[in-house]
Chains A and B, each alone.
Chain A
């Protein structure tokens, strides 16, 4: 597949043949408008969930999301503060306001 072909196609609405995503599929959300592509998160990640973008200066790619251990070392290392760790939905926990009894979840 040539890059020009993708560019001249219908701009993002193209249907690709992909396998299923692994679950969980997105352990860390990167704000790509602020990411400078410094790759400090890629360096600190202890399981290499993230790989550097082949294009220099671009945000890293969450390549092996199912291998994430949710330590959030990447979040702590980001100088721009543009990473957010995202626990998968089934790991979210509930808490209760002691006075009102209102129950919320993380």
Chain B
């Protein structure tokens, strides 16, 4: 039943089904408050609760499935008993592959403790081993431990897991440990000592997207576990959910951090992608990367498209998940010759145009060894986000059989092999930000931000992403935040005026501005996206970006205040829009500050056309000080000596890599 059905049936418009109490304030006193209940946030809450602390966890949704909770397929970068790969290796391939723009600090922490974290989550009830022996005898299975690996069957540091089982198990652990869960409560601001920007963080505010109630969390330590920013360039007023990222993922994290004076970096990074509405079901088309690696690809006549290694040699199916001769190991995301997987020919587009391969292409699972077919269709596709019901169950209900049928590929229909490699897309206006080594919060070896009392987790960390990283940094930051909270004698004081100002900001859209409240949040999102597309696109210069920045500021100052939210759900979307416009301002300023072009950052400046000049081989940081924007530099290797620093900050930690003394 949709809205029309409901209205037609009763002859009445429907009243908001939840009680609306915009004027109610709930004061919550805890030791640690975690903002965001995805995998990283839940693990942080668990970690702090295990220390015996009072912990509050808030999330826009119900954390059983929120964040990346519908599932994931691979748990990466994990040194473990079956592998010789070291934490240093895990950091090095990323550093090399992303030309230095990789956060070795958080990646190193993650690699050090990822195996311990995985085993801990297994104890909570997640499935991490092939216990039912479905893959017995497969070359990627460790017959003793029953772990199954992906991408590199020899070096075995990337796990295939039953990721759809993870989030319910982790959330259940939160509940069992007495974490106070505030679902449908959205963080709106950080509270700081004396209400001053840049001061110690003493809690956060939030509101409930169903009842509209206001929350004030007073906490000794606060953990930012909110997602990366998305949606600055891409918006469709109708197909809002038909995007790689769910509509909940906006710019809340960085916008809230920004207002409090937190230091961000690499906010200028983005890359071309598809507009919303043109998506196919995620992992629901035949392809050859990531989850679908190493699916055999054939053309419309059944002719196989070869997998080639970095030396140009054809790689048969049984070797597609093994390093080529002389290669140290294969890493999932790397396109660098040192670490890359074999993949489709680099000149595939030319060969298609010349007619060597007739479109459309298909993934031929039926023609693969049983273990590869069943690992792709059922284990990887089936546990990756949005694949269990939307793809496996729905496609099979429609008659698809992986033993018999070939699934069409769509990303070669223009003749190009991949959306971001498609030359027409690369020049298009739709860009994707901050996912996979994007811009976010700068952290130290305690995963603390530049503000005392504030920690960051997972995708909220500069250049962070992936489940293994979210869970492991969550577990680590929870531990560090708890230690900090325990070192304090008393609860910090909340600044009453700061709370009142935030209340006024949050509820301003609920007041009607008669006769001129026709601009809704969708129009604001649309115009914000247009400003980004036009003035922060594939080609940039100083004048264009200043125009764009001024346009965004006009939208925020002139038009945003006219917007009206008729219920708490729409109020959430309005406030998210404010946050996205705030992030747009940050992006413009970061892009202006980087007076150089950079290939890896997707930043091309007409006025500084030289690509990646050595003097600009560094992060650009950005934060507010007394309301003024300050930009700065940070060395790409700001982490210093990895092992030394990790040891210095974790002298008593014991786990797989540093066992208890006998």
- B-binding residues in A (CB < 8 A): 1-3, 5-7, 9, 12, 14, 16, 18, 21-27, 30, 32, 43-49, 51-54, 59-73, 75-77, 85, 87-88, 91, 93-99, 104-106
Contacts and interface: CB of A to CB of B under 8 A. Distances in A.
Interface in B268-286: 279-281, 284-285
Interface stretch (B4-12, B78-86, B494-502, B635-643): B4-12
Nearest to B278: A90
Interface in B58-92: 60-62, 64-66, 69-70
Contacts of A65: 2
A73 B70 contact: yes
A19 to B, nearest CB: 9
B388 A72 contact: yes
Interface of B: 1-8, 10-12, 14-18, 60-62, 64-66, 69-70, 184, 209-210, 238-243, 246-248, 279-281, 284-285, 302, 360, 362, 364, 366-367, 385-386, 388-390, 394-395, 398-400, 404-408, 410, 569
Contacts of A1: 11-12
Given A48-B569, A75-B389, A5 B11 contact: yes
B69 A46 contact: yes
Contacts, number: 173
Contacts of B285: 93
Contacts of B395: 93, 95, 106
Contact of A95 (B243, B394, B407): B407
Contacts of B366: 98
15 contacts: A1-B11, A3-B11, A6-B11, A47-B61, A48-B61, A53-B6, A61-B2, A64-B569, A70-B241, A71-B70, A94-B360, A95-B407, A96-B406, A104-B399, A106-B400
A1 B10 CA distance: 10
A68 to B, nearest CB: 5
A73 B65 contact: yes
Contacts of A68: 241
Closest 5 CB pairs of A and B: A6-B11, A72-B389, A46-B61, A69-B246, A71-B70
A40 B210 CA distance: 15
A61 B242 contact: no
Contacts of A61: 1-3, 5-6, 14
B238 A22 contact: yes
Contacts of B246: 46-47, 69, 71
A7 B367 CA distance: 60
Contact of B241 (A67, A94, A99): A67
B4 A18 contact: yes
A90 to B, nearest CB: 8
B24 to A, nearest CB: 20
A14 to B, nearest CB: 7
A65 B4 CA distance: 12
Given A7-B11, A54-B14, A68-B241, A95 B390 contact: no
Given A52-B18, A67-B241, 14 more contacts: A6-B10, A7-B11, A44-B62, A44-B64, A46-B65, A48-B209, A59-B1, A61-B1, A71-B390, A95-B362, A95-B395, A95-B400, A96-B362, A106-B394
A68 B14 CA distance: 20
Given A6-B10, A70-B386, A99 B404 contact: yes
A96 B361 CA distance: 11
Contacts of A18: 4, 7
Nearest to A73: B65
Given A59-B1, A85-B389, A95-B408, A47 B8 contact: no
Contacts of B390: 70-72, 85, 87
Contacts of A66: 238-241
A46 B12 contact: no
Contacts of A71: 65, 70, 246, 385-386, 390
Contact of B281 (A3, A26, A59, A91): A91
B7 A16 contact: yes
B61 A45 contact: yes
A6 B230 CA distance: 44
Contacts of B362: 95-96
B408 A96 contact: yes
A23 B277 CA distance: 10
Contacts of A48: 61, 184, 209-210, 569
Nearest to B284: A93
A69 B11 contact: no
A2 B11 contact: yes
Contacts of B302: 98
A45 B242 CA distance: 16
Nearest to B65: A73
A98 B241 contact: no
A18 B7 CA distance: 10
B11 A53 contact: no
A91 B279 contact: yes
B399 A93 contact: no
Contacts of A6: 10-12
A72 B246 CA distance: 12
Contacts of B398: 104-106
A5 B2 CA distance: 21
Contact of A26 (B2, B70, B243): B2
Given A3-B10, A14-B8, A21-B4, A85 B394 contact: yes
